[in-house]
Chains A and B, each alone.
Chain A
Amino acid sequence: MTVLIASSVIVIAVLAGVAFGPTLGARLSGRRRRRRVEPPPPPYDPGRERRAETRARELLRSVVSGEEYAMYAELGFIALDGAQRDGGYGYLLYPHRPIVAYDTETGELLNEYCVAFPDRSEPAIGQRLPGADDVLAKWMSLRAGERELISVANMHVPGRQVDPGQVRRDLIRLREWRARRVGSPA
């Protein structure tokens, strides 16, 4: 009787090993692998983004014109003319928001171009560039190859992600800001 029970236990153990062994082994080795590969996430640093933005602003300042940098610092966006000089259109570049195309004569909003520059190299820190870097990436991409950037972006009618009322107010702020700069002594 004892021999029978013992052999039954052995048979059950062997069958269980055959049935669940590979899955269990894979799970255990996967857990070990994950433990080895994944570094611990960096501790939360509330100043990190602020320092990154400060650095990004310095880079932006060194690349764009003085007027464009002042525009970003004071208004929070950069207005850029379209590449076709007499096209009569321009873009508003906001950090982490779609590029808004508008008619430079009438102020009519034309399109929203949804585009991002995700960096997946350090998932623990996130994919978003600092705001000023995002604006600079848009600025360089539009300056260097407007068509290429627009072809990558998802185009939508105005108002999908950016409040049209806010954009119209920004265009008024921009006009007033430019008028003040023209009127102010150099």
Chain B
Amino acid sequence: MKPGHGDLLLAEGDPRVAEEEERLIEEFRRQLDLGMWAAVPTADGARHEATMVRDFAEVPRDAERVVFFPPAAGG
């Protein structure tokens, strides 16, 4: 999520393929180093949820995507 842009695709790949997983991990770390928060949206039927992740290992293997967004601050 970016001001003036909406969402941008940062990286994509299959985590079961070593090279692609490496690229995904690199981008994941880069975003967290920039201070972004990472959330994995999930849906179980009509119920939609999100899980915050702080390490790539916490991302479920079957996750379709990770959404990065700026951290919350008191307004």
Contacts and interface: CB of A to CB of B under 8 A. Distances in A.
Which bracket fits the contact residues of A? Answer: 35 or more
Interface in B22-60: 34, 37, 39, 41, 43, 46-52
B2 to A, nearest CB: 6
A66 B45 CA distance: 11
Given A51-B6, A63-B41, A144 B74 contact: no
Nearest to B69: A137
Contacts of A127: 3
Contacts of A114: 74-75
A63 B48 contact: yes
B74 A115 contact: yes
Nearest to A97: B75
Interface string A57-98: 011001111101000000000000000000000000000001
Nearest to B34: A121
Contacts of B2: 52, 119, 121-122, 125, 129
A126 interface: yes
Interface residues of B, number: 27
Main secondary structure of the interface of A (DSSP, over half): helix
Interface stretch (A9-17, A22-30, A149-157, A169-177): A149-157
A144 B52 contact: yes
Contacts of A128: 3
A133 B6 contact: yes
A116 B1 CA distance: 13
A58 B1 CA distance: 12
Contacts of A108: none
Interface of B: 1-7, 34, 37, 39, 41, 43, 46-52, 67, 69-75
